[in-house]
Amino acid sequence: MDIKIAIVNSSSLGRIFPEHLNRLKALGEVDRFDFPADMKGKELAEELLGYSIIITSATPMYDKAFFEYKDKTLLIARHGIGYNNIDVKAAAEKGVCVTRVPSYVEREAVAESTVALLMDVIRKIRSASIKVKEGEWTERARFVGYEVKGKTVGIIGFGNIGSRVGQIIKNGFNARLIAYDLNLSPEDIKKGGAEPVSLEKLLKMADIISLNASVTAQSYHMLTDKEFSLMKKGVILIDTARGELINPDSLIKALDDGIIGELAMDAVEGEPIDKDHPLLSYDNVLITPHIGAYTYESLYGMGEKVVKDAEKVIRGEIPDEVVNAR
């Protein structure tokens, strides 16, 4: 049969490494789509009719209604680790294979990005650089920061990426490392080099908090007014996982109340956001456009994975990292 491949909401696939796009074109017709992040259901299905292979970013939403209206689909390949935008059960019921990129592919990139964001906000690097460009070198006394050494750093989500963040923080900065993870035993957290603690204890103890958890029914909006009330005043919060881990109204309140001293996010609920988003009005907020995995090494590995998935499915083979049983 004629193969049509849709690349959905991916700004990098085939552009940084054209060979990946060329390999897809060798399989069939390839088209790019940029859909609103909240598109889903029948509307999305109708836009993608005729495309039997879909390679997608973290948006839009492939919900149950999408699979009810979508015609024959062989594969939905996530160009990334998380797949919470895909109803994998509905996909399985329709015989659609859903795959993802192995977590190790993005591990170094996202972990290093987390530390980079931390260093920016704790040492006020970006703000100081802007003043130099404005000719205000003598204002440097306004940009006194803190050292990471000796601080208590709490990692929420101590899996693939969180554990690597912990390694860098503990071994590189001599910080005290504590961690909370719903899915790991205290013994596993200890093996990763951190002190296992409850979420409540982590929130109370940490000077710096790094969110590295995946979004599940349990972790969705896990930080609310209650959790922020437990944090130290002036805490530094870094989120390179998913914006959906934080209740947005509670986040604004925590900023207004001075609970959050510095906030750095690489993921925001409802992304992409525009210039009028309320978080952008705060001087102590740094937001990057979900570029944690955007290194040449990581993007090459991600591209290789989704292209191989497409090639295998067309050959009738089962690809790696299938997340649903068909």
First vs last C-alpha separation in the chain:
21
Catalytic (active-site) positions: 242, 271, 290
The Cα 166–Cα 192 span in angstroms is: 8
Q: Which residues, 6 or more positions from 317, have their beta carbon under 8 angstroms from its beta carbon?
A: none
Tokens (6 digits) for 162? 């969180």
Would you mind telling me the total number of residues written for the chain in this entry?
326
